[in-house]
Structure 1
Amino acid sequence: MSTCFKQWKPIFAMIIVEFGFAVVNTLFKKILNGGMDQLVASTYRLAVSAIFLAPLAWFLERNVASKLTARIIFSLFISALLGQEIVNINCKSGKAKILGTLVCLGGALILALYKGMPLINPSKSSTNEINHNKRSSLLGPIFLFAGSFVWSAWFLLQARISKDYPYQYSSTTIMSFFGAIQSAILSLIFSKNISKWIIKGGLDIFSVIFGGMVGSGFCYVVMSWCVKQKGAVFTSAFTPFNQIFAAVFDIFILHAQIRLGSILGSILVIIGMYILLWGKNKEEEIYKNSPAIEKSGQVEVNGGGERTNP
């Protein structure tokens, strides 16, 4: 029973993380549509995360905090840039991981870029939605690609960093602290209007605090733990679930239209996730049941799970 729970624990953790991200994204969409500046919101959110995690990092990881020096930070950053996740394409598990990732990616692209025909009350499609699509038709895909690239890079960086500094609370605190400083500087560069820093309304305050504690705090700590346990490919594969949950919230909370693209994209994401997890579990079984043959520090497993000399 404990073994089964340990095996499924990272899966449940990542589903909860993506659910939390979807809630945060829905709240921030609401307050940003209400007029709050996005850089100011990001600054407050990251600052709340740093303040929330700092005491936890101190009490839970106080014995290792002294190990984090400027030299280690620099070396971790350089080594992280050189790190990579290895997938064995010669075995069925490796092919399944690649296929599952591609199917998830296809579903995510459909969710993000293809709306399709409305499935409920087509007459309610508003003119504002059409105008919004025209204005964002160019910048939207550019920002989407840039965000996806940086998001993918974070998983690879975290996979390498977690090997040399496996302390999620302190590393996330540092990331949030410097992220808040960066967002504040960018906000002051693009606009010197001080009034935009004043948070108005209970929803704005709640969204910033909840987004900082959950979105930039708890979720990143759990993701860092999952990257350390299962790797970057496994953890990043759950990202499309964020879009599924966000689409559900858009429909039932923000009263958005249900469209064909959301349904098709969600189905593809679920299918791709199942294929990827099957490949990941199969790969773990192969390496667990096959004694390692050490030669020049390398081990090779062929498609049938048989051990061969490199």
Structure 2
Amino acid sequence: MKPSSLHNVYLRFKPLLLMVLAQLSYTFLYFITEASFNHGMNPHVYVTYRHIVAGIAMFPFAYFLERKIRPKLTLALFLEIFVLSLVGVTLTLNMYFASLRYTSPTFVASVVNTVAAVTFVIAVVLRLETLDLRNARGMAKVLGTLVSLAGVTIMTVYKGPAARNPGHPPIHIQRNNIIQEQWLKGSFLTIASSITWSAMYIMQAITLKRYPAQLSLTTWMCFLGAAQSAVFTVIVARKPADWRIGLNIDLWSTIYGVSWRIRQDLYCD
């Protein structure tokens, strides 16, 4: 095959390749984060640190790339972004990462795939999405939503036998009987985070119409979400040791989470 033909094939399948790479990086995020939590890192401290660093890293991009399109920030708009951060960062991610302590990366990844379906349901209820059952596209949306929600329900109420790995994995995740018994608690946390995550997408779409600067909005959400999460963490985790982080998997998981968030925002932009 000629080089020009290979280049054409690459351009044709580039969106699909990027989607696959994004999902692979997302999958690795689950495993390295859970390994960090099992190492002793507090999930709420992780969310706080991750968004502090992400906000600092995003600030230069937001400031220079959007200085001509960034509208004036009014008090009403700031309060709207504050609520968006509360829903999209503080509530969603604290429940989301806390659920990893009680379930598994496989379960969390499966449930998160229902965010699109839940977003569709909320949009239909709020009349932001038109549902037409008379054409194939409308029927496909409904069928996909039902299948997705049914799969999550089955995974929540039924947990099969553990699969043993005969080798030695690079990231070792320890579990004990207490955590296994709290599977249902983790399932509810994951589902609740998916619902708030879906609500955040709808709220963000509305906010972007009044504040059409995506990187700046993301930076504000990172800083506000970090502040909100820090307040919550101080309330629920009063041990000063929880805030310490060393040159170990806790630091690497935080850096990877920040880099993944930045790649996601820059790519979406």
The two structures have a TM-score, normalised by structure 2, of 0.66
Q: Which residue of 2 aligns with 1:71?
A: 76
Q: Which residue of 2 aligns with 1:161?
A: 207
Structure 1 pair 52–112 and aligned structure 2 pair: CA distance change class (3 A): farther
What percentage of residue pairs aligned between the two structures are identical? Answer: 32
In structure 1, the residue corresponding to 2:31 is in which secondary structure? helix
| 1:107 alignment partner, one of 136, 151, 155 | 151
Q: Which residue of 1 aligns with 2:188?
A: 142
Q: CA deviation at 1:178?
A: 0.7
Gap regions ≥5 residues in structure 2: 1-6, 85-122, 167-173
2:62 matches 1:62: no
The two structures have a TM-score, normalised by structure 1, of 0.58
Superposed CA RMSD = 3.6
Q: CA deviation at 1:175?
A: 0.8
2:198 matches 1:193: no
Q: Does the CA-based 8 Å contact 2:82-2:221 persist in structure 1?
A: no
Q: CA deviation at 1:35?
A: 0.6
Structure 1 pair 183–61 and aligned structure 2 pair: CA distance change class (3 A): same
2:228 matches 1:182: yes
What amino acid maps onto 1:139 in structure 2? K
Structure 1 pair 121–18 and aligned structure 2 pair: CA distance change class (3 A): closer
Structure 1 pair 75–151 and aligned structure 2 pair: CA distance change class (3 A): closer
CA distance in 2: counterparts of 1:54 and 1:130, whole angstroms: 43
2:140 matches 1:96: yes
The structure having more radius of gyration, on CA atoms, is 1
How many aligned positions are there? 216
Q: Deviations over 1:155-205 (max 9, x none)?
A: 212232333333221111111111110111111112332222110233221
In structure 1, the residue corresponding to 2:133 is in which secondary structure? coil
Q: CA deviation at 1:63?
A: 1.1
Gap regions ≥5 residues in structure 1: 226-310
Structure 1 pair 20–83 and aligned structure 2 pair: CA distance change class (3 A): farther
Alignment of 1:1-310 (within 5 A): 9=15, 13-74=18-79, 84-111=128-155, 114-117=158-161, 131-134=178-181, 136-214=182-260, 216-220=261-265, 222=267, 225=269
What amino acid maps onto 1:211 in structure 2? G
Q: Which residue of 2 aligns with 1:273?
A: none
Structure 1 pair 75–192 and aligned structure 2 pair: CA distance change class (3 A): closer
Q: Does the CA-based 8 Å contact 1:47-1:212 persist in structure 2?
A: no
CA distance in 2: counterparts of 1:83 and 1:48, whole angstroms: 37
CA distance in 2: counterparts of 1:66 and 1:121, whole angstroms: 54
Q: CA deviation at 1:70?
A: 2.8
Q: CA deviation at 1:117?
A: 4.1
